[in-house]
Amino acid sequence: MKSLSFLKYLVTGLCLNVLVLGYASAKSNCTDTTVVPPFATSTYNNAYYNSILEATKALATPYLLHQGYYTMPGVTVNGTNIVYGGVSYGIDELYDQSSLYFVHDTDYAYYGINAATKIWTTKIPDVVYDSALQKFFSRSDCSGFGCRLMAAVGGTTSTNNAYLNLAKRVNALKQSTIGGKNTTSNAFSIAVAFPQFTTAEIPGWQYVAGNVADSLINAYKNVGTTLNTYIGQRKGGFANSLPGDVLAFGYGPKATSTGHFMILDSVPRRLDSAGLKRFYPATKGSKVRTTLKKYRVYAASVIDDSGQFAHALDSRKNYSGIGHGILLIMTDTLDDAPIGYVFKASVKDTSITFSALRDTNNVYAISVGRYISSKQLPVSLVSFSASRQSEKVVLNWHTANEENTNLFVVERSTNGIDFAAIGEEKAMESSNGSYAFADNNPYSGTNYYRLKTVDADGAIEYSKAVSIQTVTNGNKLLVYPNPSRNRLTINGSHIATVVVVDNNGRIVGRHSLGDATNPSLSVENLVAGAYYLRIRTMDGQVSEGSFVKE
């Protein structure tokens, strides 16, 4: 059987950009054409991902390919199948709020699930790949899908697994409950969980933004949910939400479900009057402008498990289930805290009506949570120092949390501003790394050093610079004027050669001077920047200097 893997992807947010710019109608479906093969189905059921966004894209990709929201080279859609490499893979998707979205422990071997059993001891949400049938199954609801993907992030312990970490932290506060390792949690439980997190746990969960109807929520009893005196807090700043954040709604007692669970797949876009008008083409411009004076309105691009045509520009054209859509979030103009939402505005609407917080028929809580796994953390530089050893400078540094770190690049400067690489060290990928690097040819005078940390995904971070005074053998020669525009004088005698090096280590000038005293060199043809001099006298001694060309 050909191998199929949904572990590599690249999403550009084209759908939302097109919508906001006004080039898409409410009837159209957006297509993202940047998903990258190859992939392998063997990891679909038991892989652990580094982030919520990575897990979401991996689990949702077959369904989004089938719906046409994603396209991929070599993948075609044939009825209820997607075809890749000459192999046809069935797609079975249904938004299901019944007990059918659980797979029982007796079915684990059939579904090829191994590591997932360490999290889901008796049953897991039914979002799986059946290797025997070569078929992707999704019979789940929004929170079943959400619990499945959270369980696939990190590992198998309550410290590094997103779902177990959430359950452990919420249950320790004793204000609400989250299902244990063998159950799923409903959307209401997740929506009221994040506002309780007054501190950010790193690695772990943090509260990004949200709002709760606290006076109502204390008296509320939902299915599988018991609340004590609730401590959840309102928090503004919805605009700070990022791709991979969980957006959760908790509904009131008269609603037909407990709430809704979604994953943001791009940064929410704040709408101006033209942008909001595209959602409400039949609404007068004056009403649109009045709405934007009362509220901030964001277009939120999400991946979730829901009914067919759940959102604006929804990818679920033929089936309910896992898919992509856009909804509107209304926030307070004072602190940007969410106060309501619109799933899908009708093109015939002449008013802008949204489900508001404290509406007993709809929503009691709106919240955004973010999970940071240990592999998402940048390297922690515990210490970085420089010391002189004879004519060398030795740099030492110690790190923590190197799981995503690829390389350390050592950079040097003579002015603390313009740095050039002089060497590199491969990361040990250790929880506690210890490194030493020797600069065998430091410049005379003050040397500045810094570290450039390069992560596996290409992200770069710089350390603070450290400085140290050095003196090399030979004469310490004065170079003037510094900075220099046209000519440069070296104060010294018996000078045989001078080599000029730019800040990238390239030789840009060589001067043979015989046996010169206080030689003067032209620098007018050099571009502006920092330069270094290697000066050799007749007796073979070498000195170094630096100057800045204006």
Q: pLDDT by residue (tens digit) across 356-406? A: 987 656 788 999 999 988 777 666 777 888 888 877 889 999 887 676 778
pLDDT of 34 reads 57
- The conformation of residue 146, written as its DSSP 8-state character, comes to H
Give the separation between CA 63 and CA 52, rounded to whole angstroms. Answer: 17
Burial (CB < 10 A; 0-12, 13-18, 19+), residue 91, is buried
pLDDT of 139 reads 87
CA 406, chain centre distance (Å): 17
pLDDT of 2 reads 31
Model confidence pLDDT, tens digit, residues 86-142: 999 999 988 887 756 677 766 766 667 777 777 777 777 888 898 889 999 998 899
Please check whether the two domains, 378-470 and 478-549, share a CATH topology: yes
Mean pLDDT of the chain: 81
pLDDT of 76 reads 92
Provide CB contacts within 8 A for 161, sequence distance 6+.
119, 150, 151, 153, 154, 155
Q: What is the mean pLDDT of residues 525-538?
A: 84
Spatial CA neighbour of 238 closest among 325, 351, 323, 357: 357
pLDDT of 125 reads 80
pLDDT of 432 reads 73
CATH class of 378-470: mainly beta
* Candidate from 143-147, 490-494, 498-502 with smallest mean pLDDT: 490-494
Structure token pair of residue 327: 């909804």
Give the separation between CA 294 and CA 424, rounded to whole angstroms. Answer: 55
pLDDT of 224 reads 45
pLDDT band at 10 (very low <50, low <70, confident <90, very high): very low
Q: How far is CA 42 from CA 5, 77, 118, 219, 507, in A?
A: 7, 21, 18, 46, 53
Structure token pair of residue 363: 């929503």
* Other CB atoms within 10 A of residue 99 CB: 9
What 3-state class would DSSP assign to 187?
Answer: helix
Q: How far is CA 383 from CA 240, 396, 455, 549, in A?
A: 31, 8, 18, 34
Provide CB contacts within 8 A for 66, sequence distance 6+.
77, 80, 82, 91, 93
pLDDT of 448 reads 85
Backbone angles phi, psi at 471, to 5 degrees: -135, 120
Is the separation of the CB atoms in 170 and 177 below 8 Å?
yes
CATH superfamily, domain at 478-549: Macroglobulin (MG2) domain (2.60.40.1930)
* Token pair 């159950």: residue: 183
Residue 535, H or E segment: strand 529-537
Model confidence pLDDT, tens digit, residues 419-468: 788 989 988 876 678 899 999 888 777 788 888 888 776 667 778 778 77
Cis peptide before 281 (omega within 30 of 0): no
Model confidence pLDDT, tens digit, residues 149-173: 999 998 888 888 899 889 888 888 8
Residue spans of the domains in the chain: they are: 1-375, 378-470, 478-549
Is the separation of the CB atoms in 61 and 70 below 8 Å?
yes
pLDDT of 227 reads 54
Max Cα-Cα span within the chain: 96
Model confidence pLDDT, tens digit, residues 469-483: 775 544 456 788 888
Provide CB contacts within 8 A for 481, sequence distance 6+.
488, 489
Give the separation between CA 317 and CA 308, rounded to whole angstroms. Answer: 7
For the entire predicted model, the pTM comes to 0.68
